[in-house]
Amino acid sequence: MKFFIDSGNLDEIKSANNFGIIDGATTNPSLIAKEGIKGKKNIFDHYKKICDIIEGDISAEVISTTTKGIIKEGHELSEIDDKIVVKVPMIEDGIKALDYFSKNKIKTNCTLIFSAAQALIAAKCGATYVSPFIGRLDDWEKDKNAGIKMIKDIKNIFTNYNYNTEILAASIRNPKHIIECAKVGVNVITTPLKSLLELTKHPLTDVGLKQFLDDYKKNNP
Ligand code: E4P
């Protein structure tokens, strides 16, 4: 399973990358806005900085909502760096753009996926990745398993038809989401730094380490 860092913050992206396990990054307009970066040039420069840190695919999202606009913006984004993957929303105009990008060998990530039906359509249009949003679906359905159920359905469908589209599980809120995705066999999870760090924790690890160090000190006064 590939691990992407889901952030627009360069320090966080560097910290995550220092673990040596990061295979790519995802951003969205809200994450970029959180960093206070405004204006097309500054935003594009920021994407370039992320490309310079991370070895792997970097998703950068379009703002346009018409097929023509998405295609134009997608070309501009993909010129920033070979690592850029054009992130396209799951809307009718986005689907037409996915088909265009697929035929023109431009990598895409179809975002804001909340059902297996949407993922199926994106795969059929040749999306490189689909991003099903787990946490947001759990909140909306008021069912803590809704997101993972969707991921299982998408995995079944993609396996049935041998789609090459990769499942990039997004809107990860906790380590449990990551482990459930791994059990299903998604291709990629994109995680905030916090959930990535939580993966390394267990209370018994802390208790055990303290005991080992105390015993060492007692034996080596
Ligand atoms: C990444 O591609 C998504 O935009 C992101 O995971 C959404 O996460 P959120 O639901 O925590 O905002």
167/119 Cα distance (integer angstroms) = 9
For residue 7, the model assigns a pLDDT of 98
User: What does each C-alpha distance from 46 to 15, 43, 104, 193, 208 come to in angstroms?
Assistant: 17, 5, 25, 18, 42
Q: Is any ligand 1 atom within 6 A of the Cβ of residue 171?
A: yes
Residue 133 CA to ligand 1 center (angstroms) comes to 7
For residue 203, the model assigns a pLDDT of 97
User: Ligand 1, from 4, 6, 108: best to mutate by most atoms within 8 Å of Cβ?
Assistant: 6
40/72 Cα distance (integer angstroms) = 14
Q: Which of 126, 98, 130, 127 is nearest to 112 (CA)?
A: 130
Return the ligand 1 atom nearest residue 59 CA.
Answer: 2
Return the ligand 1 atom nearest residue 109 CA.
Answer: 2
Other C-beta atoms within 10 Å of 166: how many? 18
Question: Please, are residues 134 and 170 in contact by the beta-carbon 8 Å criterion?
Answer: yes
What is the pLDDT tens value at each position of the chain, 221 positions in all? Answer: 999 999 999 999 999 999 999 999 999 999 999 999 999 999 999 999 999 999 999 999 999 999 999 999 999 999 999 999 999 999 999 999 999 999 999 999 999 999 999 999 999 999 999 999 999 999 999 888 999 999 999 999 999 999 999 999 999 999 999 999 999 999 999 999 999 999 999 999 999 999 999 999 999 99
Half-sphere exposure of 29 (CA within 13 A, CB side): 12
For residue 58, the model assigns a pLDDT of 98
Q: Whose CA is nearest to atom 8 of ligand 1?
A: 171
Give 61's strand partners: 87
Question: Please, are residues 50 and 13 in contact by the beta-carbon 8 Å criterion?
Answer: yes
Positions marked active-site:
87
Q: Is any ligand 1 atom within 6 A of the Cβ of residue 58?
A: no
For residue 142, the model assigns a pLDDT of 86
pTM of the predicted model, to two decimals? 0.96
User: Ligand 1, from 84, 140, 171: best to mutate by most atoms within 8 Å of Cβ?
Assistant: 171
3-state SS, residue 172 = coil
Q: Is any ligand 1 atom within 6 A of the Cβ of residue 144?
A: no
210/38 Cα distance (integer angstroms) = 47
Q: Across the chain, where does the E strand assignment appear?
A: 2-6, 22-26, 57-61, 84-89, 108-113, 129-132, 166-169, 188-191
Taken in order of first residue, the domains within the chain and their CATH numbers are: 2-219 (3.20.20.70)
